[in-house]
Homo-oligomer: A and B are copies of this chain.
């Protein structure tokens, strides 16, 4: 029995299309009504989660879509997963929902077990965790850890702050509040708050009208695909980009305390970087005492064929901080160096210090993924899917360009010829019963769950074929 059959005995065997105008009439009514209290303009359709099963999401018009977007890459196992339902009904979960401790001051006796379950899924080399509430929050908590670490090193690990530091910080001035930068990359996405927004550069709409830190941006490699046919060009691209990074670090008017990067730039277009590039960043950050932060918010938890995408690169020594959210349901960062625990209590602190309800879900996800070997299964189905898409790319060369994500399980993307063509493709494939997402201007990204199997891949491929045949 396959894992999807085990989890979802009543999963649909094919998409159900009841109405081809999307949103359908019932969704439209619900969107208008929801709009009275909520910005409902970005709503694609109103879902019926009671009827959604496994890899299929139902809407209020009776459509049942094969879902390879999965809540913007945030559903690990599929809808109405029985193991998660069991966790949701557990006495531990009910306590976490009803009491919600200030975990830093009054943790419950079950917190340790909850955290240790999460750590069973930590990236290789990381054995500690700090918890937050969203991807943006996770990244900003990591920045705080990085700034404290960087300054502690600079001042030689003395425990006391000077009177001048204590006084100036209350006025948002140096030396208590120093000018320090996090270097990031063009086309990166790390969230939409003010520090996370300052390291984000994928689309203007995320940032317009907001003040930002004047932090520098390096260049992320722009490879030619397929990768294996363009190694010379891509290697020189790595070298070019690594030089830019080092140049910024050594010449930035604001000292660079940390570097943040996605293993695959996701929102920014599924842009890949090589193992050599990511190792090069390790070398240059070590050389200059810069904290190396890997943002695995979208790439984490198995979708690329490793539990964490940066494990493909075998970075040595391990990156300093690895952030997570989305499919993990809980958010935060992993680390291993005890120096990332600040020198005093209450420096990395807030009222809740994470959400134990979401942490319980995260631990359950780790257990299900490991017990059922879902990462390797994703790798297998991803290899099959990639092969089928390669065939379609030959058949429709103008509509499937720059196919990428080989050996990255189901974390696959390609380009169409224009933004209009991409948007039209996404709309038409929805009309054919498959929910797919885009990224950047012209790209399509596949983000199925870890219970996406060959039978789902076949439906996806045949639907793409059908849509492109009439395109």
Interfacial residues, chain A to chain B (CB-CB below 8 A)? 30, 33-34, 37-50, 52, 57, 60, 71-72, 74-75, 79-81, 84-85, 87-89, 91, 93-95, 97-109, 111-112, 115-116, 119, 127-130, 133-137, 140, 143-144, 147-148, 150-152, 161, 165-166, 169-173, 176-181, 186, 191-195, 198, 201, 204-215, 217, 325-326, 329, 341-342, 344-352, 355, 357-358, 361
Contact = CB atoms under 8 A, between A and B. Distances in A.
Contacts of A52: 99
Nearest to A199: B172
A377 to B, nearest CB: 21
A211 B217 CA distance: 17
16 contacts: A34-B111, A34-B112, A38-B115, A41-B345, A42-B104, A42-B345, A46-B106, A71-B105, A72-B105, A74-B102, A134-B351, A135-B351, A166-B208, A169-B204, A170-B204, A206-B347
A129 B37 contact: yes
Given A94-B89, A108-B49, A161-B204, A195 B193 contact: yes
A390 B13 CA distance: 72
B42 A204 contact: no
A349 B106 CA distance: 33
A18 B178 CA distance: 47
Top 10 nearest A-B pairs (CB, nearest first) are A41-B345, A194-B195, A133-B133, A172-B212, A151-B209, A88-B97, A71-B102, A84-B98, A166-B204, A177-B212
B98 A88 contact: yes
A39 B344 CA distance: 10
Contact of A210 (B38, B147, B186, B193): B147
Contact of A351 (B161, B179, B326, B352): B326
Contact of A48 (B108, B137, B143, B351): B108
A44 B108 CA distance: 11
A349 B49 contact: no
Contacts of A212: 172, 177
Nearest to A133: B133
A253 to B, nearest CB: 13
Given A93-B97, A102-B71, A176 B204 contact: yes
Contacts of A215: 172
Main secondary structure on A side of the interface with B:
loop
B88 A144 contact: no
Contacts of A34: 107, 111-112, 115
A46 B107 contact: yes
A71 B104 contact: no
A470 to B, nearest CB: 26
A349 B38 CA distance: 11
A317 B244 CA distance: 53
Given A172-B217, A176-B208, 13 more contacts: A38-B115, A43-B107, A46-B106, A74-B102, A79-B99, A150-B209, A151-B209, A166-B208, A170-B204, A170-B217, A194-B195, A205-B344, A355-B358
A356 B456 CA distance: 29
A42 B84 CA distance: 32
Contact of A348 (B39, B119, B127, B213): B39
Contacts of A194: 140, 143, 193-195, 213
